[in-house]
Amino acid sequence: MRGFGFSKFSPNDIPKGGFDELLKLFLELLNYTSGDAGEALAWMNELDKQYNITSDEYGMGDFIDELKQKGYLDEDKQNGEFRITAKAEQGIRQSALEEIFGKLKKSGKGNHRSPQSGQGDEKNAERREFEFGDSLDQIDMTQSIHNAQVNHGIGDFMMTERDLEVEEMDYKTLTSTVLMIDISHSMILYGEDRITPAKKVAMALAELIRTKYPKDTLDIVVFGNDAWPITLKDLPYLQVGPYHTNTYAGLELATDLLRRRKTHNKQIFMITDGKPTCLKEGTKYYKNSIGLDRKVVNKTLNMAAQCKRLKIPITTFMIAKDPYLQQFVRKFTETNGGKAFYSSLNGLGEYIFEDYIRNRRKTVR
């Protein structure tokens, strides 16, 4: 008889001091230290003093040696500084993906389906008669033979074109996404670290697309006083600057990037905690952090409207709770025809992943 055996769980039974357990902690700390390996290892030493995360058999020195042996860490011979490698950067992305995507409910194969059916890429449950142009691999031979027997009898087997039955196919569409990340100073104000969850979500989303939707594209744009694109390799090292929030510049750059993508489905995800406070006028910056500046707000709303005309929906993930800021986001969303989520930092990843996968199941026209 097959069954399951259960035993009492004890937290003390969790293995400590092994390389795999320490590696998970090290990769997590790298998110908070913006890729500074030396600082992350210093934090691990402090944690070891308080919580005994290593053992007498496997110490922190053994862990550092193994990091270097397995290609996660490089040491500068001149000054002794540690630097993470490309393998460690990929490990950070994979760790973020497992943390966020693992919390989501299972959602099938994750392929992108559009509402259209016909001569597409993936079979669905619908059946119809054979038509000129259908490929042979669409023919349901079992059902076609059954149709021939019903239509012509089984004594003298005969099959005609009208007996053939084919399986309908769904089209898979491609999606181009720009993820905008606010790196203004307010992302670390009031003792709350908002940039680390944003970075982690960006890395996880990039890893999801790279592994599950390789034909999709993801561009990452950061915006402060100005806006500029960054690469996947830059993400672990991203830090907040002494910037205001030039949302207009971020949207302008995101739109320009999406114009170059030869796909029908285009979208912008914007992670921000505040209002637009800055514009660039020639070589000078117009800044106003007090209230909602009409000049800045109106130009930002005009950009949202332009995105709507280009059929680029914007999904805003707002991680601030001020009522007047949420009111601005509602106006911004109404102008663009997109969506807005007022998310806590803990739920940010799940919101973005669910929305990304949901958007892949429809064709934005």
The CATH number of residue 257's host domain is 3.40.50.410
C-alpha distances (whole Å) from 94 to each of 89, 147, 211 are 9, 50, 10
Q: Confidence band (pLDDT; 50, 70, 90) for 112?
A: very low
Residue at 5 is within a domain: no
Strand residue runs (E) in the chain: 73-75, 82-84, 117-118, 122-129, 165-170, 175-182, 217-223, 227-230, 265-272, 278-281, 284-287, 314-318, 339-342
Distance between CA atoms of residues 341 and 154, nearest Å:
61
Residue at 57 is within a domain: yes
Owner of token pair 């079979």: 123
Q: pLDDT tens across 122-174, in order?
A: 455 567 788 777 777 778 888 888 888 888 888 788 888 888 888 776 555 68
How confident is the model at residue 306, as a pLDDT? 97
Q: Which of 84, 108, 141 is the last residue of a domain?
A: 84
Buried b (16+ CB within 10 A) or exposed e, 126-143: eeeebeeebeeebebeee
How confident is the model at residue 132, as a pLDDT? 75
Residues 195 and 141 in one domain: no
Q: Confidence band (pLDDT; 50, 70, 90) for 205?
A: confident
Number of domains into which the chain is organized? 3
The answer to whether the CB of 348 falls within 8 A of the CB of 317 is yes
Residues 52 and 160 in one domain: no
| Percentage of the residues of the chain whose pLDDT score is greater than 90 | 41
Alpha-helical segments (H) within 112-171? 141-152
Which three-class secondary structure state does DSSP give residue 272?
Answer: strand
Residues 345 and 203 in one domain: yes
The answer to whether the CB of 193 falls within 8 A of the CB of 252 is no
Q: Confidence band (pLDDT; 50, 70, 90) for 252?
A: very high
Residues 190 and 337 in one domain: yes
Q: Which of 30, 58, 84 is the last residue of a domain?
A: 84
How confident is the model at residue 179, as a pLDDT? 93
Q: Confidence band (pLDDT; 50, 70, 90) for 360?
A: low
Residues 152 and 198 in one domain: no
Q: Confidence band (pLDDT; 50, 70, 90) for 344?
A: low
How confident is the model at residue 141, as a pLDDT? 85
Residue type at 268 in one-letter notation: I
Q: Confidence band (pLDDT; 50, 70, 90) for 7?
A: low
Q: Confidence band (pLDDT; 50, 70, 90) for 190?
A: low
First-last CA distance in the chain: 55
Domain boundaries, position 146:
122-170
Residues 302 and 180 in one domain: yes
Mean pLDDT of 97-120: 47
Residues 143 and 214 in one domain: no
Residues 150 and 179 in one domain: no
Residues comprising the chain, all counted: 365
Residue at 10 is within a domain: no
How confident is the model at residue 308, as a pLDDT? 95
Instruction: At 268, list the tokens.
Output: 């912008």
The dihedral formed by the CA atoms of 53, 58, 62 and 66, expressed in degrees to the nearest 10? -90
Instruction: At 40, list the tokens.
Output: 């992350």
Residues 214 and 360 in one domain: yes
Residues 264 and 146 in one domain: no
For residue 204, the 8-state DSSP code is H
